[in-house]
Amino acid sequence: MSLRSASENPAATFEPTPDATPWAVKVDNLSVTYRTAVEKKPTLKQTLIRLGRRQRIIREIKAVRDVSFEIPHGTTIGVVGVNGAGKSTLLRTMAGILPPSQGRVEIFGRVSTLLALGVGFKGELTGQENVVLGGLAAGLTREQVAAKYEAIAEFAELGDFMEMPMRTYSSGMYGRLAFSVAINMDPDILMIDEALSTGDARFREKSFDKMRELTGKARTIVLVSHGLRSIRELCDEAIWMHEGRISMRDDADTVVDAYKEFLQLKREGSDDDI
C-alpha cells in the first residue's frame, strides 16, 4: 500500500505508520454526497408505484465538497460553521462511517469518536452493556473494555443508573456516558461532535477540564462545536466550514473572530457558552 500509493500520489512521500508521519489525519479532495430518495421511508410498495409512473425522485445533497487538509499529530483542531455546513458529515467520514463519494481520507492512529448521537445503540440494554458492546464494536478486546470500565463509570457519575436500561436515561445522562466512553478509550485521535452541550453546568466544566487535560497529552483532537469558547480555549487551530467547503483555516482565535463577524454576533467579548 505504502509504496504503491506513494508512487501514484506524489504528495504522499511518507510511510503510513503513526510514528513516521507528521500527520494524524490527511484528507485529500474529499467530497461526500448524500443521495436521498424524497419519500419518508423507502418501501417496496412505493417503489412499485414509482415504477408504474416511471419516475424516480432522488435528491443529491453535496454535504462536503472537495475538501483537503491535514492535521498534524498532537494538534487540537476546532471545526465551526453554521447548521448544515457539513461538519458532522466530515467527521463521520473521517471516522469511517460514511463512505467518501470522491477523494480519500487517511487516518494514522487509533480513533475514538463521540458523534452527535452519542454512545449506545439499544435503549433496552443497560448502560453497562452498552459500554461493553460499544467498546467491542470499536475493536477493543473484552479485557481492554473491562480495564476501562471502572474509569468510564466513575467519570460519568451515573451511579446505579449504569445497571438501568438506557431508555430510562435523560438526554444529559446519555451525553455524560457518551463523553465518558469517548475520552476513556485512550485513542490517538479523538473526534468529538457537539459533546459538551447536554450535560449540566458542573459536568460541562468537568468535561471541559478533561478535554484541556487531553490537549496537554499530545493527543490529536478534532472538536466540532457551536460553543465558541471551547473552540477558542481548547483548540490550537480551527477550520470554518461553509456549504461543504473550508472557507478558512487559521489559528483558533482568528477563525472564531472571523466566524463571529460573519454571524454578526452583537455581544462582544466573552463567547459565553462552552
Partner 1 sequence: MSAVAESPGGDEFSGEYHVYEPHKVGLPPLGSYFRALWARRQFLFELARTNLRAQHFNTTLGQLWLILNPVMLGIVYFTLVYIIRGGGRGSIFLAHLMLSLFAFRLVSTSVSRGARSVVGGGRLILNTAFPRLILPLESVLESFMRFLPTLAVYAVVHVAVGLPIRVSLLWAIPIIALITVFGAGAAMFTATSQVYFRDLTNFLPYFTRIWLYTSPILFYAEDVPDRLRPILYCNPMYPMLGSLNYAVIEGRTPPFGLLAASLAWAVGTIIAGTLFFISREREFAIRL
Ligand X SMILES: Nc1ncnc2c1ncn2[C@@H]1O[C@H](COP(=O)(O)OP(=O)(O)OP(=O)(O)O)[C@@H](O)[C@H]1O
What is the spatial distance between Cα 65 and Cα 35, in angstroms, rounded to a whole number? Answer: 14
Q: Is 121 in the site for partner 1 (CB under 8 A)?
A: yes
Query: Which one, of 107, 120, 69, lies nearest residue 238 by Cα?
Result: 69
Interface with partner 1 in residues 215-274 (CB under 8 A): none
User: What single string gives the DSSP state of each residue in 244-267?
Assistant: TEEEEEEEHHHHHHHHHHHHT---
82/133 with CB nearer ligand X: 82
Of the candidate residues 97, 151, 218, 263, the single one contacting partner 1 (CB under 8 A) = 97
Nearest distance, CB of residue 127 and ligand X, angstroms? 25
Listed in sequence order, the residues at least 6 apart from 35 whose beta carbon sits closer than 8 Å to its beta carbon are: 58, 59, 60
Sheet arrangement for strand 111-114: 111-114, 189-193, 220-224, 76-80, 237-242, 245-251
Which entry of ligand X, Mg ion, partner 1, none binds 84, CB below 5 to 8 A by partner kind?
Answer: ligand X
Query: Which one, of 4, 15, 108, 11, lies nearest residue 68 by Cα?
Result: 11
Of the candidate residues 42, 168, 170, 218, the single one contacting partner 1 (CB under 8 A) = 42
Q: Is 86 in the site for partner 1 (CB under 8 A)?
A: no
Which entry of partner 1, ligand X, Mg ion, none binds 81, CB below 5 to 8 A by partner kind?
Answer: ligand X
110/249 with CB nearer partner 1: 110
What is the spatial distance between Cα 76 and Cα 61, in angstroms, rounded to a whole number? Answer: 29
Q: Is 141 in the site for partner 1 (CB under 8 A)?
A: yes
Q: Is 86 in the site for ligand X (CB under 6 A)?
A: yes
Nearest distance, CB of residue 23 and Mg ion, angstroms? 24
Which entry of partner 1, Mg ion, ligand X, none binds 170, CB below 5 to 8 A by partner kind?
Answer: none
Query: Which one, of 61, 62, 59, 38, lies nearest residue 50 by Cα?
Result: 38
Of the candidate residues 101, 197, 247, 254, the single one contacting partner 1 (CB under 8 A) = 101
What is the spatial distance between Cα 273 and Cα 103, in angstroms, rounded to a whole number? Answer: 35
Question: 267 with 236: CB under 8 angstroms?
Answer: no
The contact set with partner 1 (CB under 8 A) reads: 1-2, 4-5, 8-9, 16-18, 34-36, 41-45, 47, 92-111, 113, 115, 117-122, 124-125, 129, 132-134, 136-139, 141-142, 188
